[in-house]
Amino acid sequence: MDKKRLAAEHAADRIQDGMIVGLGTGSTAYWAIQKLGQRVREGLRIRGVPTSEHSKQLAVELGIPLVNLADVEQVDVTIDGADEIDPDFHLIKGGGGALFREKMVAQHSKTVIIIADDSKLVERLGAFPLPVEVVPFGWEITAKRIERLGCTAALRRAANGDVFATDNGNRILDCRFGRIEAPASLHQTLKMLTGVVETGLFPHEADHVVIGTADGVVQKDRHAHPRAES
């Protein structure tokens, strides 16, 4: 079985009746939503909180009942993917462009399960360009300010060449910082810049990391790190 699918289905099998479930975005989260849809058809009773319009559409097609984030006290479990994961549970997310909603849902969740294949495990973050969501107004100025922090920032475009727009109507700058030694500090510095909506750095957001490998599933659990607040 595909390693992403292996990790996703393992996580989806942990969901229990009555849970409110955060539905992640991306190629690995896709398999988790598919599995949850199957389990719903088999009788599982859950409500989903999608992190993107794409995940919302998929959930509707699969018959997963949905609820708005504002209408729940807390999400029980969020299952989502990541673009990079370091040994301290720092993440880079946002390759699919849903980083703002993903972080909103994650920070409203009791438990966050990150699913990925073993290629996403790194010693230090930074090989994957860091997505930074910015408002359209004056994005060029925002990009220059970000580049002063030591990166090159490229405006993300869709496959057809048009400027990529997030579900919130914003832009994404893919920022190449190279090796990121202090993810939480860089995240806070970027957030202080006017024009920046959110960053793809998720410091200590994950409670569990489920990794699909050629030999099966490996689960890593966070014990010592407190959940970060942005």
CA distances, 188 to each of 8, 182, 185 (Å)? 30, 10, 5
What pLDDT is attached to residue 218? 95
What pLDDT is attached to residue 113? 98
Annotation: CATH topology of 3-121+203-218: Rossmann fold (3.40.50)
Q: How far apart are CA 202 and CA 207, in angstroms?
A: 12
What pLDDT is attached to residue 227? 52
Q: Kindly state the DSSP code that residue 35 receives in the 8-state scheme.
A: H
How open is the CA angle 81-73-114, to the nearest 5 degrees? 15
Q: Which class is domain 130-199?
A: alpha beta
pTM score: 0.93
Of 9, 102, 198, 205, catalytic:
102
What pLDDT is attached to residue 215? 93
Q: Are 28 and 211 in contact (CB under 8 A)?
A: no
Domain(s) of CATH 3.40.50.1360: residues in the chain = 3-121+203-218
Domain(s) of CATH 3.30.70.260: residues in the chain = 130-199
Average pLDDT for runs of 10 along the chain of length 230: 94 98 97 98 98 98 97 97 96 97 97 97 97 98 98 96 97 97 97 98 93 95 58
140 is catalytic: no
What pLDDT is attached to residue 228? 47
The greatest distance separating any two alpha carbons of the chain, rounded to the nearest whole angstrom, comes to 53
Q: Where are the beta strands (DSSP E) in the chain?
A: 20-23, 47-50, 75-81, 84-85, 91-92, 109-117, 130-134, 152-155, 171-176, 196-199, 201-202, 208-213, 216-221
What pLDDT is attached to residue 205? 86
